[in-house]
Every structure is written in C-alpha cells, then in structure tokens.
Amino acid sequence: MNFDTIWTNAQEKIGAFAGEYGFDLLGALLILVVGWMLAAFLSGRVRKLAERSGKIDATLIPVLSKMVRLGLLALVFVATLDKLGVDTASLFALVGAAGLAIGLALKDTAADVAAGIALLILRPFNVGEAVEIGSSSGTVEEIGIFQTRLTSFDGVPITLNNSGVRTSEIKNYSRSATRRIEWTVGIDYGADIDAAMKILLETVSAEARVLAEPAPLIDVTNLGDSSVDILVRVWCNAPDFFPTKLALGRQMKQALDAAGIGIPYPQREIRILKDEAAA
C-alpha cells in the first residue's frame, strides 16, 4: 500500500466522520463559546446591579456573581455534552455520588458557608455594632463567609464559626435607641425605707443622662436575710449606658452614706441554747 492510497483512505474516513459528526462538533463548540461568554456577561451584570442597589452586603456580591457564573457554566457544560451525544444521566449520577462524598467530608465547612450567607442576607448585626452572641460579646469587626470576628469590650479578638453564630442567641445592643439600667440596693432593716427611696430617686433624677420617659422606677423588691432590697430602674440613650451606670452606682452610694443609711453586709444571728437537763 503506497502513500497515495493511505492518504486517500484517510481523507475518506475524515470526510465520513465530518459528515456524520461535523455538525454536532460545530454545534457543541458554538454552545461552549457562546455559553462561556454569556456566563461572563450575566455574572458581571449581576455584580453591577448588586453594587448599585446598595441593599446587598459588599461581602456577598462576589459570592452571588460567582454562583451565577458557575451555575450557567454547568448548564453550558451539560448542553455541550448532550450535543456530542454523551449520556448525561450517567454523568449526573457520578457527579451526584462525588458531591455526596465531598459534602459529607466538608459538612461543617458547608454549614459555615450556608450560615455566613444567611447572616449576610438577614443582617442580625452589622460591622461596628455591639453584640452578644452566645457567651461572647464585643464589637463586630468582620462578617465573612466562614467566620465572624469580634473584638471583645476589653480588646480581645474573638473568632466565631458562622454555623455557631447562626444557632446562638444574638443580642444587638446597637439596634436600640435606649437601654435600661438596673440595680438592687440593699439597706438596713432599721433604715427609713421612704427616706432611702426618696434619696435614690433624687440622685438618679439629677443625672442628666437619665431619661424622663420612661420614668425611673424605685421600689422595694425583696426582704432579704440581711437587707431590705430596693429595685432602681432607669433608662438612658444607648451610647450613655456604661458611663451612666458607673456614675450612678457611685452617686447612690455616696448619697446614702451622707444620709446615714447603711448598706449592710450578709449577717447571721447565732443563738446558743443551754441544755437545762445537763446543768
């Protein structure tokens, strides 16, 4: 068999293959190119629209854009294989099995990602707000896809997994315009209760940061073992919470001391009974 015969046979086979599969190959290539360009265009549009809306967190915008792009590319890939005559049902089964195995291996990470997206959408807190999450409290520094970072009120960095944050009780102290401050002040049983309550009311009312509405509440709340307990409850603007609480605690103690009303320490009265029979 000479070279001319080999070349002629090759041309015939190539021609037959092109005639049978050429349009499918061309169609698959066209789907792949157009789909790739369309995925890039639509993901870019999603990013721009999200940035212009101002309602979506900046951390979430790239994630949404990538999800759109990857979703469209997956559809393009499946359509390309289908055009080439590949059995996509078997491929889906294989991908599903692989996805299940990966999901089981990375279930904690996946839970953190899902919780991070939920936190970014629902916004129970924002960066810069003072919060208490479970047993941790501080100022929010970053809300990421995997973790949330706080700085505690005494300056210690705290890192929390998003899945734990999502399932914990969240107290956002920055979302309230006002906050309530509460003390329980114990006085001697021999002290004048009305006089003590009057002094406490005058003290808290004189503090400029205490709000007139809701009005301060001062009343006896408990008759303890060693003291008559008086509940003192006032409201202030949220930014004034800590300085007001510290200042009033000192001022109430000084006012009661000046009036001669003592704040007792726990006491026990011990009685010794004499055994008359033994005597």
What number is the average pLDDT over the span 154-160?
A: 93
Q: What is the rounded distance in angstroms from the CA atom of residue 55 to the CA atom of residue 122?
A: 11
In the predicted structure, residue 19 carries a pLDDT above the cut 60: no
Asked whether residue 20 carries a pLDDT value surpassing 60, the answer given is no
Alpha-carbon dihedral sign for residues 201, 203, 206, 207: negative
List pLDDT tens digits, range 238-278: 989 999 999 999 999 999 999 999 888 776 777 787 766 55
For the domain made up of 3-105, give the CATH fold: Helix Hairpins (1.10.287)
- Decide if pLDDT at 71 tops 60: yes
pLDDT in tens, 84-139: 776 666 666 666 766 666 666 556 788 888 888 888 888 899 888 999 999 999 99
* DSSP state letters, 206-272: H-TTB-SSSPPEEEEEEE-SS-EEEEEEEEEEGGGHHHHHHHHHHHHHHHHHHTT---PPP------
Mean per-residue pLDDT of the chain:
83
**Three-state DSSP state, 153:** coil
User: Domains of the chain: which residue ranges?
Assistant: 3-105, 125-174, 176-258
Domain range 125-174, its CATH number among 3.40.630.30, 3.10.25.10, 2.30.30.60, 3.40.50.720: 2.30.30.60
Pick the CATH number of 176-258 from 3.30.70.100, 3.40.50.720, 3.10.450.50, 1.10.357.10: 3.30.70.100
- Decide if 249 contacts 209 (C-beta within 8 A): no
Q: If residue 106 lies in a helix (H) or strand (E), which one and from where to where?
A: none
Strands 130-133 and 178-187: unpaired
pLDDT of 1 above 60: no
pLDDT value, residue 102: 61
Q: Whole-angstrom Cα distance, residue 85 to residue 23?
A: 12
User: Which residue bears the tokens 């309230």?
Assistant: 176
**pLDDT at residue number 83:** 72
